[in-house]
Structure 1
């Protein structure tokens, strides 16, 4: 199935849902498992695989995808723009002419903003364009992007992307045969890890010079990379890792919060051990006192 991505939005697509949802020219039964064919690198059919419906068959929210892409691109901005103010421009230490007697307007420096070569008023300064986006929205955006590729027939599942040799010509021929139904070689390749057995270093050496091809591990799969490529080619191990990642509970504390929680838990355990030791010492002292009293009587 090779269907063009049709952006036909409507509001309130399903009970309890809101936002802009993409409408397709065919019925879509949301949240039901989706069956796809598993191929090898030579495009030979191996088996049928069910994609989980809660990840690959959700309503495609155009507004969510747009918000996540904006968030990603804002985080990617370097923000190194800089202009010099009048205090940073060299020169201008001498008063251009006397305050009075010349008939001209008074000037204190030839590096003032109104002078040619002077400082810039309210110019850009280095800053970060990143802003916070809820993890729930980011996760939903990734599910929408994956569902869009599955609905359009632009998701190809392979058992492995590992080439026999790190030759660009060989992997280009394989990919051209895999994507012969598509007008151009513009694909995102997703394997399990950078050093995985289903792609890894060999795949990156072979395909890193191919124009229109991007390679990412499953942990790096993101909305922007998925929607900007025509075809998503994913391995079965990468699919399993991606499903595990999207079904895991959302960590709302972050790395620093988890570290702080672990630190507090270690302190609690240490305090419990110390209290236990104090209690044992008190019990031993009481027994010693009781034995001494019994011996003296």
Structure 2
């Protein structure tokens, strides 16, 4: 699951308009969403999906890094030096120019090409407000990496990597912590010569990675690799300077896009922030936001921003927990009614077919024995059989939080002000609305009321891919089944209230441990002692 940063739509449109002059015209399409045939073809030939990608992502060098990176500067920074010929990794031979005095030399033309690509990716992540984590295990450059990350407002990790830092953050840190949107490795090998464990963890969590790969390193599992020298302070200083410039260019472009969106917005957008109950106080937890829009018009009219609780909409993306919920919902209602009859239950066969002895045939007591045609079954299915079981409350609640987090991170969760008593009941209106807002092939509307009136109720009967559900029916299977989930403001408040009540209630979520006032219980235990005012030591 690729993590996506939620951005204001006005800012995205403003940024796309800023780069439209740099982007070549793309063929026009009748819909902004590809059909199923195009998606199936895109899995084999990705170029067919190019018309559906935003203009800013199609530009190969949007931030003009070709003029920033020079081969002579890389040569002076000793980027071309590798390790000894005997230690070269077979997967890095393609990036080598040759060898001199037994030392491998990188082809700086290839290094420049891959470095420009990595810098553009870092700038895109920074432009979208992403979090970048700089990682190194080289003791000679660890302080430079920390200082560089701090200068651009990003994060760094230069100490010993604790296993599960990315894959088990909730258990290690005790709160819903936002994972980085990209991890940049200034050295991909540990002091033991093995691949950095954070590379595997980032790959498991679908976090894109940038890695400076030396001649003795393995580029496996890296998203963007830069073949270069990762040992000397000169090369690391040059690479850090390039990455800092990429982050700054992305941040500057983001500021310009926000200013353009603010100045060009025709309607005044109100700020609908609210106080979140038991919001984590950690500086590493960022409060997610979502636009509140209206369904009165086909175009996505923004009414304001609303804060989302990080414990629900920034939960750790535990795919295993989500899989347990989906499996449970798929099988717990199944009942097998098949009942295969035994020999005693089959009709007929009461007479012994032939004598017990002196016939040369096997001893048989009934023609309804399992070895005969139309005989009974020895170990058949004895229905009705059920696969019913109940998941623990903690797993079900965490599964809902994971599903909501994934939907919001993938920009498939939207907030509207109201779905009751809407005027337009024409199905064509709702089809155009879903296409204009990129809702996809199926949409689920969630409201706190279980009775729906108005235009949406009439149109929903003619559109089977559009469904409405109350809050008390929300489940993981429905959240994953539908391409887009639309919540009303009242449904959002009710969902957060119910989930947070169970997440933060006293005692474990196991039902056999019910809530009790432990302070009162301890004080009552002192009544039979000599000094009732002094509670016993527990």
TM-score by structure 2 length? 0.41
Q: Secondary structure at the match of 1:248?
A: helix
**Distance 1:34-1:2 versus aligned 2 partners, 3 A rule:** closer
Selected match of 2:494 from 236, 241, 253: 241
In structure 2, the partner of 1:44 is: 301
Selected match of 2:360 from 98, 103, 111: 103
User: C-alpha offsets along residues 222-245 of structure 1, whole Å, 9 cap, x if unaligned?
Assistant: 111111221111111111111111
Q: Secondary structure at the match of 1:185?
A: coil
In structure 1, distance between residues paired with 2:206 and 2:486: 24
CA contact (8 A) 2:443 2:466 kept: yes
Aligned length: 244
Post-superposition offset of 1:183: 7.7
Which consecutive unaligned segments of at least 5 residues does structure 2 have?
7-162, 173-200, 210-282, 517-538
**Distance 1:182-1:36 versus aligned 2 partners, 3 A rule:** same
Q: Give structure 1 regions of 4+ aligned residues with deviation exceeding 4 angstroms.
A: 18-21, 200-205
**Distance 1:240-1:216 versus aligned 2 partners, 3 A rule:** same
Is residue 2:464 matched to residue 1:211? yes
Is residue 2:53 matched to residue 1:53? no
User: C-alpha offsets along residues 250-287 of structure 1, whole Å, 9 cap, x if unaligned?
Assistant: 66449xx99xx9xxxxxxxxxxxxxxxxxxxxxxxxxx
Post-superposition offset of 1:78: 2.5
CA contact (8 A) 2:325 2:395 kept: yes
Q: Secondary structure at the match of 1:227?
A: helix
CA contact (8 A) 2:422 2:454 kept: no
Post-superposition offset of 1:55: 0.5
**Distance 1:21-1:55 versus aligned 2 partners, 3 A rule:** farther
User: C-alpha offsets along residues 157-192 of structure 1, whole Å, 9 cap, x if unaligned?
Assistant: 11122354695xx24632541343548421222111
RMSD: 3.4
Post-superposition offset of 1:65: 0.5
Is residue 2:331 matched to residue 1:177? no
CA contact (8 A) 1:21 1:60 kept: no
Is residue 2:270 matched to residue 1:17? no
Is residue 2:407 matched to residue 1:153? no
Selected match of 2:401 from 143, 153, 156: 143
The farther-off stretch of 153-162 and 179-188 is: 179-188
User: C-alpha offsets along residues 65-103 of structure 1, whole Å, 9 cap, x if unaligned?
Assistant: 011111221212123333222232222222222223332
User: C-alpha offsets along residues 34-92 of structure 1, whole Å, 9 cap, x if unaligned?
Assistant: 11111111332222111111101111111110111112212121233332222322222
Which consecutive unaligned segments of at least 5 residues does structure 1 have?
4-9, 262-297
In structure 2, the partner of 1:287 is: none
Q: Secondary structure at the match of 1:17?
A: helix
**Distance 1:144-1:150 versus aligned 2 partners, 3 A rule:** same
The farther-off stretch of 137-146 and 45-54 is: 45-54
